[in-house]
Structure formats: structure tokens, C-alpha cells
Amino acid sequence: MTAPLRIGILGLGTVGASVFQALHLHGTAIAKRSGRTMRVTAVSARDRKRDRGIDVSGVEWFDNPVALASSDHVDCVVELIGGADGTAKEAVEAALSSGKHVITANKALLAKHGSALVALAERHQVALNFEAAVAGGIPIVKTLRESLAGNQVTRVSGILNGTCNYILSRMELEGLTFDACLADAQRLGYAEADPTFDVGGFDTAHKLSILASLAFGTAIDADAVYVEGIASITPLDLVMADELGYRIKLLGVAERTATGIEQRVHPTMVPKGWAIAQVMGVTNAVNVAADPVGELTLVGPGAGGNATASSVLSDCVDIARGIVLPPLGMAASALAVLDRAPMQRHEGGYYIRLAARDRPGAAAGIATRMAEQSISLESIVQKRPPASRAADPTGKSGEPVPVVLITYATTEEAIRKALDAMIADGHIAEPPQLIRIERG
């Protein structure tokens, strides 16, 4: 009879407690599906006395996570500590080096040290599973690594951060400012006290770098990701997007281009008719374009204890079944060095909002600078706020006027040169707003 799979959990926060509880409540059913009993035999967390709603009295407690990772009493280590370095890294390295399988939800660790950890796992012939590290309960890692292994992926994109999607959804639906929505997200627990990692786009960038590796067979390279956050988005931008038939989402996009693999994270205008445009609140979504399957879109909870625990448990079942696959879909030695596509070469449509100075020659100067870079304009909209129109019905106050330009396909380099020239000319009163448009 097969011995039980002995699991050690590092970190008993929301996710760790959910994993522990699920194995306790559903262990018999999970064992029937996996063909092997699973048992939590050890745990490690900061505070032994904290009430987590679970009974850990029957398992071995380790104050030192690295000691648990090296213990002979566990076969599989579930790392839920978080952080790119320090204890999480030391514990994962110790577990792999001692021949133990590892399951982690730590996207920051993988984004920074993934290639080295993958090689270490392969050297010791153990699993390094990380379904929970990207998009919470959405099985995108297995989809790319296993279900689409016979396909040639050309593009993977998605909403990978629930905090940003929640804020943008509230701003659009209720006309609130970014600051107001962020404060509410923090009150509800959707955003951290220091939200920079989420709203700055860095969380999405870490996840995207992992997806790009799985999709294109390249080593993880988080430094290659171009990153913009959502703090500059205003209610006016969302109103304009709506009028133009778009929604604004923070997207992570990785795709093959003629100049290499492009990885970028930024606010994006997506057509309202697209499935991903319908994803609101804290929900995540990932779209994959591949040959021969075509396009797939996976939608589901991107965070939270139960959603993330679901992915951890899926990885546990694979290990219980004896399934040990190359973590990134192929041997570490076969992973290619990422051929980075510079962001300046990106091609697409652009939404540009300018605070144009209301003076003779300004409009002509703006048009000239766009023409110099061979940028064709699809539309030009002058959008004076209602309060401004009421206070100055003649429009001759000299106050800056919002002007929105929508371009046809052009390059990032051309747009940047045109905007730099406008700033130098003094035609605009504040930094321009630039949002890329996805048109399919």
C-alpha cells in the first residue's frame, strides 16, 4: 500500500489555513481521486498562539521554516511565506536540495530566481509546482504547460491583478477618482497599506514573466517587462473610453513580434465586445492565442484563500499521483534566452489626452508634431469639463483645454518623439496621458 504523502506547510495565513482545512475536510475524496492519502505532518508560522480557525495540535510545529523544509518527516513542502528572497528562498532551496517536492504560490520568488530553482528541482528529480503563483484559482499554468503543449503560442495576455481591476471597475461604474477607489480597496482588504506593488503594475509583471516563459519556452526574465501602473488614470479617461467603445484594463501582454518577444504591463483600452472587457471587480482573466487551437479565455477568482488553495491542492494531487513534469514545460537546459523586443518598437493605436494651452497656434503646432512622425489621427476630440464650460461659456479664458487624440497604428517611438516635441514647444500645460489601444 502506498504510504501517505506527508505535507509540510510554510505559512499559515489565509491560503495556508485554507489548504490545511481543505485537506482535513475533503481528504478522503481527494485521496480517492489521487490514489494516495495526503496528510499535513508539519507546519511553520510566526505565531503559535494565533487563532487561525484550524486545529494544528496533531502536527509537528517548526519555528524555523528552513528546518521544516529539511525535515525527514515531510515529502512535500508547500511554501506560502512570500517574498523574493530571505526565508522563502532559503526554505525552497533546502527542500529541493534534500529531495522534497515543492509547491509555491510565490510569484516574486519565481520571477527573480525561477530559472535557478527549476534547474535545482530537475537536478534532484523532484517537482516544483506553482499553479497558485499566477491568477489564483485559474489553471493557467497547467493549461500552458500541459493542455497546450502541442500548440504554438503566439500571445498570452490578461487581467492578472484583482486590486487594479477592482479600482478601475469602481472608477468606471461610479465615476470615482483613483485615490477614492484605492482607499476603499484598502478598507475592504483588496489593497495593501502600501499598494505600490499592485497599482504600480509590478505584481502583474512578475506573473507575466512566468506566463511568457511557459508560453514561449524561454528563461524567466522579469527585467524584460515594460511596466506602467494605473495611478494616472482619471475619470475623464474612463468616460472617453466608454464613448469610444472601449474599457480600460491593466493588462499584462506577452507576444511574439517581428523584433522579438514583447512583454508589457500597462493600462489598455480594450473593445467592449471582447470577453476580457466584461471582467469586472477582483476577477482575473487570461487569454491565450495559439495554433492550432485558436483563442482561449479563462476567467475566475484571481486571489483569496480558497481560490489560491484550490490551485495548491491541484499541485498536491499531481505529486500524489507521481506526476513530476519539467516546471516550465521543458528541460531547463532547453529554455532559450529571451529575445527582448524593445518597447520603442511596439506598434498599435494610441489614446492621447493633452492639456492643450488655449492660445493661437497651439492646435496647429500639435498637429504638426504628429505629422512630422508620420502619425495618422483617427479622431480629435476637445473635451472641456462641464464645470469649465459653465464658468467660461466663451472658451476664451486661456485655461488648458483637454484634447483627446486617437491614432491609427504607429510606433511607441514615434509617439514619444511627437509628445517630447510638444512639451518642448510649450503647447501643453501638463504631462500627457497615453493609453495603448488593443484592436485585435
Quick: pLDDT tens for 341-379.
Answer: 999 999 999 999 999 988 888 888 999 999 999 999 999
Give 147-301's CATH code, choosing from 1.10.357.10, 3.90.950.20, 2.60.40.10, 3.30.360.10: 3.30.360.10
Q: Please give the angle made by the CA atoms of 36, 38 and 42, to the nearest 5 degrees.
A: 150
Fold of 5-133: Rossmann fold (3.40.50)
Q: What are the structural domain ranges in the chain?
A: 5-133, 147-301, 346-437
With CA atoms as reference, report the closest residue to 141 among 119, 124, 160, 166: 160
Per-residue pLDDT for the chain (440 aa), expressed as one digit of tens each?
Answer: 589 999 999 999 999 999 999 999 999 999 999 999 999 999 999 988 888 899 898 899 999 999 999 999 999 999 999 999 999 999 999 999 999 999 999 999 999 999 999 999 999 999 999 999 999 999 999 999 999 999 999 999 999 999 999 999 999 999 999 999 999 999 988 888 899 999 999 999 999 999 999 999 999 999 999 999 999 999 999 999 999 999 999 999 999 998 899 999 999 999 999 999 999 999 999 999 999 999 999 999 988 889 999 999 999 999 999 999 999 999 999 999 988 999 999 999 999 999 998 888 888 899 999 999 999 999 988 866 555 544 455 555 567 889 999 999 999 999 999 999 999 999 899 999 999 999 86
Q: How far is CA 361 from CA 366, 380, 401, 428, in A?
A: 9, 16, 14, 12
With CA atoms as reference, report the closest residue to 252 among 290, 211, 282: 211
Which candidate in 100, 107, 207, 249 is catalytic?
Answer: 207
Cβ atoms within 10 Å of 101's Cβ, excluding its own: 25
Give 346-437's CATH code, choosing from 1.10.240.10, 3.30.70.260, 3.40.50.300, 3.40.50.970: 3.30.70.260
C-alpha span between 91 and 94 (Å, rounded): 5
C-alpha span between 312 and 15 (Å, rounded): 9
Assess whether 207 carries a catalytic annotation.
yes
